[in-house]
Chains A and B, each alone.
Chain A
Protein backbone atom coordinates (compact mmCIF):
# COMPACT_ATOMS: atom_id res chain seq x y z
CA UNK A 1 0.00 0.00 0.00
CA UNK A 2 3.01 2.28 0.41
CA UNK A 3 3.24 2.95 -3.32
CA UNK A 4 -0.14 4.67 -3.51
CA UNK A 5 0.87 8.30 -3.15
CA UNK A 6 0.64 10.62 -6.12
CA UNK A 7 3.92 11.70 -7.61
CA UNK A 8 4.12 14.56 -10.10
CA UNK A 9 6.89 14.07 -12.65
CA UNK A 10 9.11 17.06 -13.40
CA UNK A 11 8.25 18.75 -16.74
CA UNK A 12 10.02 17.17 -19.75
CA UNK A 13 9.19 16.21 -23.31
CA UNK A 14 6.49 13.53 -23.43
CA UNK A 15 7.73 9.95 -23.13
CA UNK A 16 5.44 7.21 -24.38
CA UNK A 17 6.02 4.08 -22.39
CA UNK A 18 2.71 2.42 -23.25
CA UNK A 19 2.69 -0.42 -25.72
CA UNK A 20 0.65 -0.47 -28.89
CA UNK A 21 2.24 2.67 -30.34
CA UNK A 22 3.78 0.19 -32.76
CA UNK A 23 3.75 -0.67 -36.44
CA UNK A 24 1.60 -3.80 -36.00
CA UNK A 25 -1.23 -1.84 -34.35
CA UNK A 26 -0.93 0.91 -36.96
CA UNK A 27 -1.03 -1.68 -39.76
CA UNK A 28 -4.02 -3.54 -38.26
CA UNK A 29 -6.05 -0.32 -38.09
CA UNK A 30 -4.74 0.88 -41.45
CA UNK A 31 -6.00 -2.28 -43.09
CA UNK A 32 -9.54 -1.05 -42.33
CA UNK A 33 -8.96 2.69 -42.55
CA UNK A 34 -7.40 2.49 -46.03
CA UNK A 35 -10.40 0.72 -47.62
CA UNK A 36 -12.81 3.07 -45.78
CA UNK A 37 -11.02 6.09 -47.27
CA UNK A 38 -10.87 4.44 -50.70
CA UNK A 39 -14.63 3.75 -50.73
CA UNK A 40 -15.29 7.27 -49.45
CA UNK A 41 -13.11 8.83 -52.15
CA UNK A 42 -14.51 6.83 -55.08
CA UNK A 43 -18.15 7.31 -54.05
CA UNK A 44 -17.40 10.97 -53.42
CA UNK A 45 -16.05 11.32 -56.97
CA UNK A 46 -19.22 9.68 -58.31
CA UNK A 47 -21.33 12.15 -56.37
CA UNK A 48 -19.24 15.10 -57.47
CA UNK A 49 -19.43 14.22 -61.16
CA UNK A 50 -23.17 13.63 -60.92
CA UNK A 51 -23.70 17.02 -59.32
CA UNK A 52 -21.12 19.02 -61.23
CA UNK A 53 -20.46 17.17 -64.48
CA UNK A 54 -17.64 18.91 -66.33
CA UNK A 55 -18.45 19.99 -69.89
CA UNK A 56 -20.27 17.47 -72.02
CA UNK A 57 -20.03 14.68 -69.43
CA UNK A 58 -23.62 15.47 -68.40
CA UNK A 59 -24.82 13.54 -71.47
CA UNK A 60 -22.96 10.44 -70.33
CA UNK A 61 -24.34 10.18 -66.83
CA UNK A 62 -26.40 6.97 -66.86
CA UNK A 63 -29.95 7.07 -65.52
CA UNK A 64 -29.74 3.41 -64.48
CA UNK A 65 -29.58 1.60 -62.16
CA UNK A 66 -32.26 3.74 -60.57
CA UNK A 67 -30.81 2.98 -57.10
CA UNK A 68 -27.23 3.80 -58.15
CA UNK A 69 -26.85 7.12 -56.35
CA UNK A 70 -28.69 5.75 -53.33
CA UNK A 71 -26.03 3.05 -53.02
CA UNK A 72 -22.95 5.17 -53.70
CA UNK A 73 -23.95 8.07 -51.48
CA UNK A 74 -25.15 5.77 -48.70
CA UNK A 75 -21.72 4.11 -48.85
CA UNK A 76 -19.99 7.50 -48.92
CA UNK A 77 -21.54 8.71 -45.69
CA UNK A 78 -21.40 5.29 -43.98
CA UNK A 79 -17.73 4.72 -44.82
CA UNK A 80 -16.83 8.27 -43.78
CA UNK A 81 -18.65 7.87 -40.46
CA UNK A 82 -17.06 4.47 -39.83
CA UNK A 83 -13.64 5.98 -40.57
CA UNK A 84 -13.91 8.39 -37.62
CA UNK A 85 -13.15 5.88 -34.81
CA UNK A 86 -10.58 4.19 -37.06
CA UNK A 87 -8.79 7.49 -37.70
CA UNK A 88 -8.84 8.39 -34.00
CA UNK A 89 -7.30 5.04 -33.08
CA UNK A 90 -4.75 5.24 -35.87
CA UNK A 91 -3.64 8.75 -34.87
CA UNK A 92 -3.42 7.68 -31.23
CA UNK A 93 -1.17 4.80 -32.25
CA UNK A 94 1.26 6.97 -34.20
CA UNK A 95 1.03 10.00 -31.87
CA UNK A 96 4.54 9.56 -30.36
CA UNK A 97 6.00 10.12 -33.84
CA UNK A 98 4.83 13.73 -33.60
CA UNK A 99 7.51 14.31 -30.95
CA UNK A 100 10.34 12.56 -32.77
CA UNK A 101 13.78 13.95 -31.97
CA UNK A 102 15.55 15.30 -33.96
CA UNK A 103 12.47 16.50 -35.83
CA UNK A 104 14.14 16.35 -39.25
CA UNK A 105 16.89 13.87 -40.05
CA UNK A 106 17.26 14.18 -43.82
CA UNK A 107 15.62 15.65 -46.89
CA UNK A 108 13.69 12.43 -47.30
CA UNK A 109 12.55 12.51 -43.69
CA UNK A 110 11.48 16.16 -44.09
CA UNK A 111 9.34 15.54 -47.18
CA UNK A 112 7.79 12.44 -45.61
CA UNK A 113 6.83 14.36 -42.50
CA UNK A 114 5.41 17.19 -44.59
CA UNK A 115 3.32 14.68 -46.49
CA UNK A 116 2.11 13.03 -43.27
CA UNK A 117 1.19 16.48 -41.91
CA UNK A 118 -0.91 17.10 -45.03
CA UNK A 119 -2.48 13.66 -44.69
CA UNK A 120 -3.41 14.08 -41.01
CA UNK A 121 -4.75 17.62 -41.38
CA UNK A 122 -6.62 16.71 -44.56
CA UNK A 123 -8.12 13.51 -43.16
CA UNK A 124 -9.36 15.19 -39.97
CA UNK A 125 -10.66 18.13 -42.02
CA UNK A 126 -12.53 15.87 -44.48
CA UNK A 127 -14.22 13.75 -41.83
CA UNK A 128 -15.12 16.78 -39.71
CA UNK A 129 -16.57 18.86 -42.56
CA UNK A 130 -18.38 15.88 -44.10
CA UNK A 131 -19.91 15.00 -40.77
CA UNK A 132 -21.12 18.54 -40.07
CA UNK A 133 -22.59 18.62 -43.56
CA UNK A 134 -24.75 15.60 -42.72
CA UNK A 135 -26.36 17.65 -39.94
CA UNK A 136 -26.50 20.69 -42.24
CA UNK A 137 -24.34 22.86 -40.04
CA UNK A 138 -21.86 25.07 -41.88
CA UNK A 139 -19.84 27.02 -39.30
CA UNK A 140 -16.93 27.73 -41.69
CA UNK A 141 -16.51 30.81 -43.87
CA UNK A 142 -15.97 28.92 -47.15
CA UNK A 143 -18.21 26.99 -49.49
CA UNK A 144 -18.45 23.33 -48.47
CA UNK A 145 -18.62 21.43 -51.77
CA UNK A 146 -15.53 22.74 -53.63
CA UNK A 147 -13.34 22.67 -50.51
CA UNK A 148 -14.43 19.17 -49.45
CA UNK A 149 -13.77 18.02 -53.01
CA UNK A 150 -10.32 19.61 -53.29
CA UNK A 151 -9.14 18.31 -49.91
CA UNK A 152 -10.27 14.81 -50.95
CA UNK A 153 -7.68 14.90 -53.75
CA UNK A 154 -5.05 16.19 -51.39
CA UNK A 155 -5.76 13.43 -48.86
CA UNK A 156 -5.81 10.74 -51.53
CA UNK A 157 -2.48 11.85 -52.98
CA UNK A 158 -0.89 11.94 -49.54
CA UNK A 159 -2.46 8.58 -48.65
CA UNK A 160 -1.13 6.82 -51.76
CA UNK A 161 2.32 8.20 -50.98
CA UNK A 162 2.01 7.19 -47.34
CA UNK A 163 1.12 3.59 -48.25
CA UNK A 164 3.96 3.45 -50.79
CA UNK A 165 6.52 4.80 -48.32
CA UNK A 166 5.34 2.50 -45.56
CA UNK A 167 4.95 -0.55 -47.82
CA UNK A 168 7.95 -2.42 -46.31
CA UNK A 169 6.69 -1.78 -42.78
CA UNK A 170 3.13 -2.72 -43.73
CA UNK A 171 4.38 -5.96 -45.28
CA UNK A 172 6.47 -6.76 -42.20
CA UNK A 173 3.47 -6.30 -39.87
CA UNK A 174 0.59 -7.45 -42.11
CA UNK A 175 -0.41 -10.46 -40.02
CA UNK A 176 0.16 -11.84 -36.53
CA UNK A 177 2.92 -14.07 -37.82
CA UNK A 178 4.65 -11.55 -40.10
CA UNK A 179 8.37 -11.15 -39.35
CA UNK A 180 8.04 -7.59 -38.00
CA UNK A 181 5.13 -8.51 -35.74
CA UNK A 182 7.17 -11.36 -34.22
CA UNK A 183 9.88 -8.93 -33.11
CA UNK A 184 7.39 -6.98 -30.97
CA UNK A 185 6.89 -7.91 -27.28
CA UNK A 186 4.57 -10.94 -27.16
CA UNK A 187 2.77 -9.66 -24.04
CA UNK A 188 1.33 -6.77 -26.10
CA UNK A 189 -0.71 -9.27 -28.16
CA UNK A 190 -3.77 -9.54 -25.88
CA UNK A 191 -3.76 -5.77 -25.25
CA UNK A 192 -3.64 -5.11 -28.98
CA UNK A 193 -6.52 -7.47 -29.61
CA UNK A 194 -8.52 -5.69 -26.88
CA UNK A 195 -7.78 -2.33 -28.48
CA UNK A 196 -8.80 -3.55 -31.92
CA UNK A 197 -11.97 -5.12 -30.50
CA UNK A 198 -12.88 -1.82 -28.82
CA UNK A 199 -12.25 0.09 -32.05
CA UNK A 200 -14.37 -2.49 -33.88
CA UNK A 201 -17.13 -2.01 -31.31
CA UNK A 202 -17.02 1.76 -31.79
CA UNK A 203 -17.17 1.39 -35.59
CA UNK A 204 -20.10 -1.01 -35.15
CA UNK A 205 -21.86 1.39 -32.78
CA UNK A 206 -21.63 4.48 -35.01
CA UNK A 207 -22.57 2.44 -38.07
CA UNK A 208 -25.47 0.51 -36.56
CA UNK A 209 -27.05 3.62 -35.02
CA UNK A 210 -26.94 5.59 -38.27
CA UNK A 211 -26.73 3.41 -41.37
CA UNK A 212 -30.49 2.76 -41.32
CA UNK A 213 -30.98 6.24 -42.77
CA UNK A 214 -30.00 4.79 -46.15
CA UNK A 215 -30.02 1.02 -45.56
CA UNK A 216 -33.68 0.81 -44.60
CA UNK A 217 -33.70 -2.79 -43.22
CA UNK A 218 -31.73 -1.36 -40.28
CA UNK A 219 -33.98 1.66 -39.79
CA UNK A 220 -35.21 0.38 -36.41
CA UNK A 221 -31.69 0.80 -35.02
CA UNK A 222 -31.46 4.50 -35.89
CA UNK A 223 -30.63 6.40 -32.73
CA UNK A 224 -28.41 9.25 -33.86
CA UNK A 225 -28.75 9.54 -37.62
CA UNK A 226 -29.90 13.03 -38.62
CA UNK A 227 -32.69 11.40 -40.65
CA UNK A 228 -35.08 8.51 -40.40
CA UNK A 229 -36.37 7.30 -43.80
CA UNK A 230 -39.96 7.27 -42.48
CA UNK A 231 -39.99 10.67 -40.78
CA UNK A 232 -40.83 13.93 -42.46
CA UNK A 233 -43.74 15.48 -44.29
CA UNK A 234 -45.80 12.59 -45.79
CA UNK A 235 -43.44 10.19 -44.00
CA UNK A 236 -40.53 11.09 -46.25
CA UNK A 237 -37.59 13.32 -45.20
CA UNK A 238 -36.89 16.66 -46.86
CA UNK A 239 -33.74 18.74 -46.96
CA UNK A 240 -35.36 22.10 -47.48
CA UNK A 241 -38.86 22.95 -46.32
CA UNK A 242 -41.15 25.21 -48.34
CA UNK A 243 -40.70 27.87 -45.65
CA UNK A 244 -36.90 27.63 -45.83
CA UNK A 245 -37.06 27.93 -49.62
CA UNK A 246 -39.34 30.96 -49.34
CA UNK A 247 -42.15 29.52 -51.48
CA UNK A 248 -44.78 28.51 -48.92
CA UNK A 249 -47.87 27.00 -50.49
CA UNK A 250 -48.22 27.95 -54.13
CA UNK A 251 -51.83 28.81 -55.06
CA UNK A 252 -53.33 26.43 -57.66
CA UNK A 253 -54.77 29.19 -59.84
CA UNK A 254 -51.49 31.11 -59.93
CA UNK A 255 -49.35 28.13 -60.88
CA UNK A 256 -48.07 27.86 -64.47
CA UNK A 257 -45.60 25.41 -65.95
CA UNK A 258 -43.66 26.91 -68.83
CA UNK A 259 -41.92 24.56 -71.23
CA UNK A 260 -39.44 26.55 -73.31
CA UNK A 261 -38.47 24.61 -76.44
CA UNK A 262 -38.87 24.81 -80.22
CA UNK A 263 -42.69 25.14 -79.72
CA UNK A 264 -42.99 26.77 -76.30
CA UNK A 265 -46.17 26.38 -74.24
CA UNK A 266 -47.60 27.00 -70.81
CA UNK A 267 -49.80 24.68 -68.74
CA UNK A 268 -52.06 25.39 -65.79
CA UNK A 269 -52.15 22.92 -62.93
CA UNK A 270 -55.45 21.46 -64.18
CA UNK A 271 -54.00 20.98 -67.66
CA UNK A 272 -50.96 19.29 -66.15
CA UNK A 273 -53.21 16.97 -64.14
CA UNK A 274 -55.17 16.14 -67.29
CA UNK A 275 -52.08 14.83 -69.11
CA UNK A 276 -51.37 11.05 -69.00
CA UNK A 277 -50.19 10.19 -65.49
CA UNK A 278 -47.65 7.51 -64.70
CA UNK A 279 -46.67 5.90 -61.43
CA UNK A 280 -43.08 4.98 -60.61
CA UNK A 281 -41.26 3.76 -57.50
CA UNK A 282 -38.04 5.70 -57.10
CA UNK A 283 -35.74 6.51 -54.21
CA UNK A 284 -34.92 10.01 -53.18
CA UNK A 285 -31.27 9.88 -52.17
CA UNK A 286 -29.66 12.88 -50.57
CA UNK A 287 -26.00 13.92 -50.55
CA UNK A 288 -26.24 14.01 -46.76
CA UNK A 289 -26.54 10.24 -46.81
CA UNK A 290 -30.20 9.47 -46.19
CA UNK A 291 -32.43 7.87 -48.77
CA UNK A 292 -35.90 6.40 -48.97
CA UNK A 293 -38.03 4.86 -51.66
CA UNK A 294 -41.49 6.23 -52.51
CA UNK A 295 -44.30 5.97 -55.05
CA UNK A 296 -44.51 8.99 -57.31
CA UNK A 297 -47.27 9.84 -59.78
CA UNK A 298 -47.01 12.48 -62.46
CA UNK A 299 -46.30 13.39 -66.07
CA UNK A 300 -43.33 11.91 -67.89
CA UNK A 301 -40.78 14.59 -68.70
CA UNK A 302 -40.21 12.93 -72.09
CA UNK A 303 -43.91 13.53 -72.93
CA UNK A 304 -43.54 17.22 -72.08
CA UNK A 305 -40.40 17.40 -74.23
CA UNK A 306 -42.05 15.65 -77.21
CA UNK A 307 -44.91 18.12 -77.04
CA UNK A 308 -42.52 21.04 -77.44
CA UNK A 309 -40.67 19.25 -80.24
CA UNK A 310 -37.36 18.91 -78.39
CA UNK A 311 -34.60 17.11 -80.32
CA UNK A 312 -33.76 13.65 -78.88
CA UNK A 313 -30.32 14.61 -77.60
CA UNK A 314 -31.34 17.90 -76.04
CA UNK A 315 -30.43 18.69 -72.45
CA UNK A 316 -33.04 20.09 -70.14
CA UNK A 317 -32.80 22.82 -67.51
CA UNK A 318 -35.27 22.57 -64.65
CA UNK A 319 -36.04 25.85 -62.87
CA UNK A 320 -37.69 26.06 -59.46
CA UNK A 321 -40.02 28.73 -58.11
CA UNK A 322 -38.05 28.76 -54.85
CA UNK A 323 -36.71 32.12 -53.75
CA UNK A 324 -34.02 31.09 -51.26
CA UNK A 325 -31.33 28.43 -51.03
CA UNK A 326 -29.03 26.79 -53.53
CA UNK A 327 -29.93 24.33 -56.27
CA UNK A 328 -32.77 26.47 -57.65
CA UNK A 329 -31.80 25.31 -61.12
CA UNK A 330 -30.70 21.84 -62.21
CA UNK A 331 -29.77 20.33 -65.55
CA UNK A 332 -30.28 16.88 -67.03
CA UNK A 333 -28.56 15.14 -69.90
CA UNK A 334 -30.69 13.37 -72.48
CA UNK A 335 -30.34 9.99 -70.72
CA UNK A 336 -32.20 11.31 -67.71
CA UNK A 337 -34.57 13.54 -69.68
CA UNK A 338 -35.67 10.66 -71.94
CA UNK A 339 -35.88 7.99 -69.25
CA UNK A 340 -39.52 6.81 -68.89
CA UNK A 341 -39.03 6.83 -65.09
CA UNK A 342 -38.26 10.56 -65.04
CA UNK A 343 -41.42 12.36 -63.95
CA UNK A 344 -42.68 15.77 -63.15
CA UNK A 345 -44.39 14.32 -60.09
CA UNK A 346 -47.68 15.69 -58.76
CA UNK A 347 -48.43 13.02 -56.15
CA UNK A 348 -46.44 11.14 -53.53
CA UNK A 349 -47.61 7.78 -52.14
CA UNK A 350 -51.11 8.40 -53.53
CA UNK A 351 -51.54 11.88 -52.05
CA UNK A 352 -51.01 15.36 -53.39
CA UNK A 353 -47.44 16.57 -52.77
CA UNK A 354 -46.87 18.37 -49.50
CA UNK A 355 -45.53 21.93 -49.99
CA UNK A 356 -42.29 20.70 -48.39
CA UNK A 357 -42.03 18.06 -51.11
CA UNK A 358 -42.45 20.64 -53.88
CA UNK A 359 -46.19 21.23 -54.35
CA UNK A 360 -47.55 21.43 -56.98
CA UNK A 361 -44.87 19.73 -59.13
CA UNK A 362 -41.37 18.39 -58.61
CA UNK A 363 -38.80 16.49 -60.60
CA UNK A 364 -38.10 12.86 -59.70
CA UNK A 365 -35.59 10.95 -61.79
CA UNK A 366 -33.70 7.67 -61.37
CA UNK A 367 -30.05 7.59 -60.22
CA UNK A 368 -29.91 11.29 -59.41
CA UNK A 369 -28.69 13.20 -56.32
CA UNK A 370 -31.53 14.53 -54.18
CA UNK A 371 -30.40 18.15 -54.51
CA UNK A 372 -31.00 17.89 -58.27
CA UNK A 373 -34.54 16.51 -57.84
CA UNK A 374 -35.77 20.08 -58.20
CA UNK A 375 -38.91 20.99 -56.24
CA UNK A 376 -41.60 23.61 -56.99
CA UNK A 377 -40.81 23.32 -60.71
CA UNK A 378 -42.08 26.29 -62.74
CA UNK A 379 -40.10 26.01 -65.92
CA UNK A 380 -38.46 23.42 -68.18
CA UNK A 381 -36.00 24.75 -70.74
CA UNK A 382 -34.82 22.70 -73.68
CA UNK A 383 -31.12 23.41 -74.24
CA UNK A 384 -29.75 22.82 -77.70
Chain B
Protein backbone atom coordinates (compact mmCIF):
# COMPACT_ATOMS: atom_id res chain seq x y z
CA UNK B 1 0.00 0.00 0.00
CA UNK B 2 1.49 3.37 -0.91
CA UNK B 3 1.46 6.45 1.25
CA UNK B 4 -1.59 8.22 -0.19
CA UNK B 5 -3.75 5.07 -0.05
CA UNK B 6 -2.81 4.56 3.59
CA UNK B 7 -3.59 8.21 4.20
CA UNK B 8 -7.05 7.75 2.68
CA UNK B 9 -7.81 4.73 4.89
CA UNK B 10 -6.62 6.49 8.05
CA UNK B 11 -8.53 9.61 7.10
CA UNK B 12 -11.69 7.61 6.51
CA UNK B 13 -11.23 5.74 9.79
CA UNK B 14 -10.87 8.93 11.80
CA UNK B 15 -13.71 10.80 10.11
CA UNK B 16 -16.16 7.94 9.40
CA UNK B 17 -15.32 5.71 12.35
CA UNK B 18 -14.75 2.41 10.56
CA UNK B 19 -12.89 0.78 7.71
CA UNK B 20 -13.70 1.36 4.03
CA UNK B 21 -15.12 -2.20 3.96
CA UNK B 22 -17.73 -1.10 6.48
CA UNK B 23 -18.67 1.87 4.31
CA UNK B 24 -18.86 -0.33 1.19
CA UNK B 25 -21.19 -2.77 2.95
CA UNK B 26 -23.36 0.07 4.18
CA UNK B 27 -23.55 1.53 0.68
CA UNK B 28 -24.39 -1.87 -0.84
CA UNK B 29 -27.15 -2.34 1.71
CA UNK B 30 -28.61 1.10 1.07
CA UNK B 31 -28.47 0.64 -2.70
CA UNK B 32 -30.37 -2.63 -2.28
CA UNK B 33 -32.86 -0.82 -0.06
CA UNK B 34 -33.18 1.82 -2.77
CA UNK B 35 -33.88 -0.85 -5.40
CA UNK B 36 -36.51 -2.39 -3.15
CA UNK B 37 -37.86 1.09 -2.41
CA UNK B 38 -38.40 1.88 -6.09
CA UNK B 39 -40.41 -1.32 -6.49
CA UNK B 40 -42.18 -0.69 -3.20
CA UNK B 41 -43.31 2.82 -3.78
CA UNK B 42 -44.57 2.33 -7.32
CA UNK B 43 -48.19 1.94 -6.30
CA UNK B 44 -49.73 3.48 -3.22
CA UNK B 45 -46.64 5.29 -1.87
CA UNK B 46 -48.27 6.83 1.18
CA UNK B 47 -50.04 3.60 2.12
CA UNK B 48 -46.81 1.62 2.05
CA UNK B 49 -44.90 4.26 4.05
CA UNK B 50 -47.65 4.47 6.69
CA UNK B 51 -47.71 0.69 7.14
CA UNK B 52 -43.93 0.35 7.07
CA UNK B 53 -43.24 3.05 9.66
CA UNK B 54 -46.43 2.18 11.54
CA UNK B 55 -45.32 -1.43 12.03
CA UNK B 56 -42.15 -0.33 13.83
CA UNK B 57 -43.90 2.38 15.85
CA UNK B 58 -46.70 0.04 16.88
CA UNK B 59 -44.17 -2.51 18.09
CA UNK B 60 -41.72 -0.11 19.76
CA UNK B 61 -44.12 2.36 21.31
CA UNK B 62 -47.24 0.29 22.04
CA UNK B 63 -46.66 -3.46 22.08
CA UNK B 64 -43.29 -3.61 23.83
CA UNK B 65 -44.09 -0.99 26.52
CA UNK B 66 -47.40 -2.80 27.10
CA UNK B 67 -45.84 -6.14 27.85
CA UNK B 68 -42.95 -4.61 29.76
CA UNK B 69 -45.41 -2.87 32.07
CA UNK B 70 -47.43 -6.09 32.41
CA UNK B 71 -44.25 -7.92 33.34
CA UNK B 72 -43.32 -5.25 35.88
CA UNK B 73 -46.78 -5.63 37.44
CA UNK B 74 -46.33 -9.41 37.62
CA UNK B 75 -42.92 -9.00 39.25
CA UNK B 76 -44.35 -6.55 41.75
CA UNK B 77 -47.19 -8.96 42.57
CA UNK B 78 -44.80 -11.84 43.13
CA UNK B 79 -42.51 -9.72 45.26
CA UNK B 80 -45.50 -8.67 47.35
CA UNK B 81 -46.21 -12.31 48.22
CA UNK B 82 -42.88 -12.71 49.98
CA UNK B 83 -43.09 -14.45 53.32
CA UNK B 84 -42.43 -12.18 56.27
CA UNK B 85 -39.63 -14.28 57.80
CA UNK B 86 -36.90 -15.56 55.53
CA UNK B 87 -38.20 -14.51 52.12
CA UNK B 88 -35.75 -16.81 50.38
CA UNK B 89 -38.39 -19.26 49.09
CA UNK B 90 -40.77 -17.04 47.17
CA UNK B 91 -42.07 -18.70 44.01
CA UNK B 92 -40.35 -17.35 40.92
CA UNK B 93 -42.28 -14.90 38.79
CA UNK B 94 -41.44 -17.21 35.89
CA UNK B 95 -44.34 -19.54 36.80
CA UNK B 96 -46.58 -16.64 35.82
CA UNK B 97 -44.42 -15.30 33.01
CA UNK B 98 -43.93 -18.42 30.91
CA UNK B 99 -47.59 -19.46 30.44
CA UNK B 100 -48.59 -15.81 29.92
CA UNK B 101 -45.86 -15.35 27.33
CA UNK B 102 -46.76 -18.53 25.41
CA UNK B 103 -50.50 -17.76 25.49
CA UNK B 104 -49.74 -14.17 24.50
CA UNK B 105 -47.65 -15.21 21.51
CA UNK B 106 -50.39 -17.59 20.38
CA UNK B 107 -52.90 -14.78 20.66
CA UNK B 108 -50.67 -12.29 18.86
CA UNK B 109 -50.11 -14.73 16.00
CA UNK B 110 -53.71 -15.88 15.56
CA UNK B 111 -55.80 -12.97 16.86
CA UNK B 112 -57.44 -12.36 13.47
CA UNK B 113 -58.93 -15.85 13.71
CA UNK B 114 -59.49 -15.78 17.48
CA UNK B 115 -61.33 -12.44 17.32
CA UNK B 116 -62.89 -13.13 13.89
CA UNK B 117 -61.27 -10.21 12.12
CA UNK B 118 -61.05 -9.90 8.37
CA UNK B 119 -64.43 -11.40 7.69
CA UNK B 120 -63.58 -13.18 4.44
CA UNK B 121 -62.32 -16.40 6.02
CA UNK B 122 -65.58 -18.33 5.76
CA UNK B 123 -66.50 -16.89 2.37
CA UNK B 124 -63.14 -17.82 0.86
CA UNK B 125 -62.51 -21.17 2.48
CA UNK B 126 -65.98 -22.57 3.12
CA UNK B 127 -64.83 -23.33 6.70
CA UNK B 128 -66.39 -22.20 9.94
CA UNK B 129 -64.53 -19.52 11.90
CA UNK B 130 -65.93 -20.92 15.17
CA UNK B 131 -63.81 -22.54 17.79
CA UNK B 132 -60.59 -20.53 17.62
CA UNK B 133 -61.49 -18.42 20.67
CA UNK B 134 -62.64 -21.44 22.67
CA UNK B 135 -59.49 -23.36 21.79
CA UNK B 136 -57.27 -20.45 22.71
CA UNK B 137 -58.99 -20.06 26.08
CA UNK B 138 -58.64 -23.78 26.75
CA UNK B 139 -54.97 -23.79 25.74
CA UNK B 140 -54.34 -20.76 27.97
CA UNK B 141 -56.10 -22.44 30.90
CA UNK B 142 -54.05 -25.59 30.26
CA UNK B 143 -50.81 -23.61 30.27
CA UNK B 144 -51.61 -21.93 33.60
CA UNK B 145 -52.67 -25.26 35.06
CA UNK B 146 -49.49 -26.96 33.89
CA UNK B 147 -47.42 -24.15 35.39
CA UNK B 148 -49.33 -24.46 38.67
CA UNK B 149 -48.69 -28.22 38.71
CA UNK B 150 -44.98 -27.71 38.16
CA UNK B 151 -44.94 -25.17 41.00
CA UNK B 152 -46.81 -27.56 43.35
CA UNK B 153 -44.51 -30.48 42.56
CA UNK B 154 -41.38 -28.39 42.94
CA UNK B 155 -42.57 -26.85 46.21
CA UNK B 156 -43.45 -30.30 47.54
CA UNK B 157 -40.02 -31.67 46.56
CA UNK B 158 -38.24 -28.67 48.05
CA UNK B 159 -40.05 -28.99 51.37
CA UNK B 160 -39.49 -32.74 51.65
CA UNK B 161 -36.36 -32.52 53.82
CA UNK B 162 -38.14 -30.10 56.17
CA UNK B 163 -41.15 -32.40 56.44
CA UNK B 164 -38.86 -35.34 57.14
CA UNK B 165 -37.16 -33.36 59.86
CA UNK B 166 -40.49 -32.37 61.45
CA UNK B 167 -41.67 -36.00 61.40
CA UNK B 168 -38.37 -37.18 62.84
CA UNK B 169 -38.63 -34.60 65.62
CA UNK B 170 -42.22 -35.64 66.33
CA UNK B 171 -41.15 -39.28 66.52
CA UNK B 172 -38.30 -38.37 68.81
CA UNK B 173 -40.70 -36.48 71.12
CA UNK B 174 -43.08 -39.46 71.10
CA UNK B 175 -40.24 -41.79 72.03
CA UNK B 176 -39.15 -39.70 75.02
CA UNK B 177 -42.69 -39.48 76.42
Residues on A lying within 8 angstroms of B by beta carbon are 1, 4, 81, 84-85, 88, 91-92, 95, 98, 105-109, 111-112, 115, 117-118, 120-122, 124-125, 128-129, 131-132, 135-137, 139-143, 146-147, 149-151, 153-154, 156-158, 160-161, 164-165, 194, 198, 201-202, 205-206, 209, 223-224, 226-227, 231-233, 237-241, 243-244, 356
B8 CB-CB contact with A under 8 Å = no
Taking CB atoms, residues of chain A closer than 8 Å to B120 are 136-137
Complex formed: what's the CA distance from A99 to B35 in Å? 30
B28 CB-CB contact with A under 8 Å = yes
Taking CB atoms, residues of chain B closer than 8 Å to A158 are 29, 33
Q: Mark B20-43, 1 if CB is under 8 A from A, else 0.
A: 001001101110110111011011
Contact present for A108 and B18 (CB under 8 Å): yes
B7 CB-CB contact with A under 8 Å = no
5 A-B pairs besides A194-B94, A202-B105, A232-B127 with CB distance below 8 A are: A109-B17, A117-B56, A136-B120, A137-B112, A141-B47
Complex formed: what's the CA distance from A129 to B18 in Å? 36
Contact present for A132 and B17 (CB under 8 Å): no
* Selected contact of A140 from candidates B51, B98, B126, CB within 8 Å: B51
Kindly count the residue-residue contacts between A and B in the assembled complex, taking CB atoms under 8 Å apart.
Answer: 184
Contact present for B29 and A135 (CB under 8 Å): no
Contact present for A115 and B125 (CB under 8 Å): no
Complex formed: what's the CA distance from A129 to B55 in Å? 10
Complex formed: what's the CA distance from A202 to B26 in Å? 34
Taking CB atoms, residues of chain A closer than 8 Å to B108 are 84, 88
Contact present for A153 and B32 (CB under 8 Å): yes
Complex formed: what's the CA distance from A238 to B16 in Å? 55
Taking CB atoms, residues of chain A closer than 8 Å to B98 are 198, 201
User: A275 to nearest B CB, angstroms?
Assistant: 30
User: A31 to nearest B CB, angstroms?
Assistant: 19
Contact present for B126 and A157 (CB under 8 Å): no
Residue on B nearest A201 in the bound complex, by CB: B102
* Selected contact of A205 from candidates B37, B97, B105, B124, CB within 8 Å: B105
Contact present for B53 and A239 (CB under 8 Å): no
Interface hit among B132-140, B148-156, B159-167, B169-177? B132-140
Taking CB atoms, residues of chain B closer than 8 Å to A1 are 84
* Selected contact of B43 from candidates A131, A142, A153, CB within 8 Å: A142
Q: Mark B60-87, 1 if CB is under 8 A from A, else 0.
A: 1000100010000000000010001000
Taking CB atoms, residues of chain B closer than 8 Å to A91 are 59-60, 64
User: B66 to nearest A CB, angstroms?
Assistant: 12
User: A127 to nearest B CB, angstroms?
Assistant: 9
Taking CB atoms, residues of chain A closer than 8 Å to B55 are 121, 124-125, 128
Output the residue of B33, B40, B60, B139 with the most chain A CB within 10 A.
B33
A-B pairs with lowest CB-CB distance, top 9: A137-B118, A108-B17, A157-B32, A121-B56, A141-B47, A161-B29, A154-B36, A150-B39, A153-B36
Contact present for B136 and A224 (CB under 8 Å): yes
Taking CB atoms, residues of chain A closer than 8 Å to B51 are 125, 129, 140, 142
Residue on B nearest A243 in the bound complex, by CB: B123
Residue on B nearest A132 in the bound complex, by CB: B112
Contact present for B84 and A151 (CB under 8 Å): no
Taking CB atoms, residues of chain A closer than 8 Å to B35 are 153
Contact present for B30 and A150 (CB under 8 Å): no
